[in-house]
Structure 1
Amino acid sequence: MNKLNITGNYVFPQATLIQVANLMVENMYRDEQEFLKIGLTAEQFEEVKKLKEEFEAIPSDFRLKALVDESSVAVKELKKQLVQLIDELLLPIEFAYGKNSAAFNECGFASSKLKSSNATIVQTATDLYARLTTSGNYSEAILPKISIETLKLLKDSFSAEIVNYNALKTSKRNVTGLRLSKANELYKQVSRIAYFGKRLWMSKNIAYYNSYVLDNFAKTAKTKIEEVA
C-alpha cells in the first residue's frame, strides 16, 4: 500500500484516505435526501468526488523516492572513484616534482576537507585534466594515458549524475508537496461530511452513524503506519 509521510493535517495513509473518501461519497449518495434537508447539495457531493479523483490522479512519489535513492548511491560511488583517481594521478606528480612544488600544488586539493565538496571535486578534476592534456606539463612524471582519459570520463559521469540527482529531488519534492496539499484539502471535506453524517444519524440509526466514524479508519491507519516505522 502506498503511504504518505504524515507531515500534514490529515491522519491517513494515502490509500486509506482514498478508501475513506470513497466511503464518504457512497454515504453521501445513500443519504442524499437527509443531507438535502440540512442544505448539503448534490453539487457539494460532486465537489468531494472530484477532489478525490484529482488526488488519485497525482502520480505517486514512491517511484521517485526510489530513483532519488538510486541516484544518491551512484553519486557517492562516482565521487569515491573520482577522488581516488585524482589522488592516484597526483602521486607521480608529487614524486617527480615534490610535495611543495608549484607543479604539485596547482593541481590538487588544498586540503582533504575539500574532497567532500562535489563542486570542488568537479573543478579539481576539470583543472587537472586540462593541465595533464596540455603539452609540456608534467613531462617528468609518469602518467598513464588511460588514467588521464578515465579522469575525464569519471568527471563527466559524476557531473551528469549530480544534475540527475538534483532534478529527481526537485521533482519528488514537488510531487510530495502537491499530494500533501490535495490530501489535506480532501481530508477537510471528508471530515466535514463525516461530522454532519454522524449528526444526522446520531439517535436514528447506529449502523449508519458508525459508517461516518473516522476514528475507526484512523486507528487502522495508525497501526499500519507503526508497522512500517
Structure 2
Amino acid sequence: MKKKEVVRGYNFSDGKLVTTVNAKIAFVRRDAAAFTEFGITAAMVDELESKTNLFSEGVTDVELVSDQTEATGTKDALANQLQEAIRGVMSRVVLKYEDNTAKYKKFGTEALSKQSDAQFLVVASRVFRVGTDMLPDLGAHGLTAAMLNNLKAIRDDLEQELISMNLKISDRDIEQESRVEGGNAIYTTLVKYTNTGQSIWASKNVAKYNDYVIYNTDSGEDPESPENPV
C-alpha cells in the first residue's frame, strides 16, 4: 500500500515551532510541581527540549533547494554544451548529405531542443556512434574523432549530472518528509503539555492559563490581536 503524503500538523514555520516549544518549556519547568501530578516529569520535558534542539539543527529545505538548484544549473550548462557539440557535428554532416536524405536522418537530431533529458542522451549517443561510422566520409568537411570524443565526454558528464540532480531531488523529498514527521511529533507533544497547563490554571490563574495558549496560525499569533505575543 502506498504511503500517504505526510502533512504538517501546524500552520506556522519550523522556526516558530522551535521558539514556541522553548517558551512553553520554560513555563512547564516553572510549574513543574503541578505537572508532576499529571505524570509529566522533568525527564520528559528534557526529552522534548532535546528533540527540539536536534530539529532546529537539522538541514532546512532552503539548503536542500539550493543544492538542487545548483545541480540543475550544472545540468543545464552541460545540456547547452552538448547541443552546441551536436550542432557542430551536424553542420558538417549537412555539407556531405542533404537534410532530406536517409544518411542525414540517421543521426536523428530533429527537434533537438524539444527532447526530454533521457531522449537527449539517446540522441547524443546516436550522433557519436553514427558520426564515428561515417567519419571517413565526413572528415573532408572538418569532422574529427576529437570532436566526436568531446561530444561523447560531454554526454557522459551530462548523464552523471542528471543522476546527481535526481538524487538531490530524492534526498530533498526524503528529508522534507522526515522533517515534517519530526516537527509533527514535537508539536503533538507540545500540545499535550500546553493542554495540561491550561487544565491546571483554567479556574485558578488567567495569566498562567494564557501562558499555555498556542495560536495555530501562519504567524503563530492571535488572529484577532496581531500584536499579542504567543
State the TM-score, normalizing by the size of structure 2: 0.80
- 1:117 corresponds in structure 2 to 116
- 1:227 corresponds in structure 2 to none
- 1:127 corresponds in structure 2 to 126
**Secondary structure at 1:10's aligned position in 2?**
coil
1:39 is displaced (CA, Å) by 3.4
d(CA) in 1 for partners of 2:213, 2:121: 57
Asked whether the 8 Å contact 2:13–2:218 carries over to 1, the reply is no
d(CA) in 1 for partners of 2:139, 2:8: 62
Runs of 4+ in 1 over 4 A off after TM superposition: none
Higher helix share: 1
1:181 is displaced (CA, Å) by 0.5
CA RMSD of aligned residues (A): 2.7
1:57 is displaced (CA, Å) by 4.4
d(CA) in 2 for partners of 1:203, 1:81: 72
Relative distance call for 1:220 and 1:202 in structure 2 (3 A) is same
d(CA) in 1 for partners of 2:105, 2:156: 23
- Does 95-104 or 135-144 show the bigger shift? 135-144
Matches within 5 A, 1:212-223: 212-215=212-215, 218=217, 220-221=219-220
- 2:86 corresponds in structure 1 to 86
d(CA) in 1 for partners of 2:118, 2:26: 55
In the alignment of these two chains, the number of paired residues is 216
- Does 183-192 or 48-57 show the bigger shift? 48-57
Matches within 5 A, 1:83-162: 83-109=83-109, 111-112=110-111, 115-134=114-133, 136=136, 138-139=138-139, 141-143=141-143, 147-162=147-162
1:21 is displaced (CA, Å) by 1.2
Asked whether the 8 Å contact 1:93–1:103 carries over to 2, the reply is no
Asked whether the 8 Å contact 1:11–1:218 carries over to 2, the reply is yes
- 1:202 corresponds in structure 2 to 202
C-alpha offsets along residues 33-91 of structure 1, whole Å, 9 cap, x if unaligned? 11122333334324423432342343223222101012112222322332233133112
Gaps of 5+ in 1: 1-5, 224-229
1:102 is displaced (CA, Å) by 2.9
- 2:3 corresponds in structure 1 to none
Asked whether the 8 Å contact 1:202–1:209 carries over to 2, the reply is yes
State the TM-score, normalizing by the size of structure 1: 0.81
C-alpha offsets along residues 105-138 of structure 1, whole Å, 9 cap, x if unaligned? 22123x4177421112112212222333345353
Percent identity over the alignment is 22
1:18 aligns with 2:45: no
d(CA) in 2 for partners of 1:88, 1:162: 23
- Does 38-47 or 159-168 show the bigger shift? 38-47
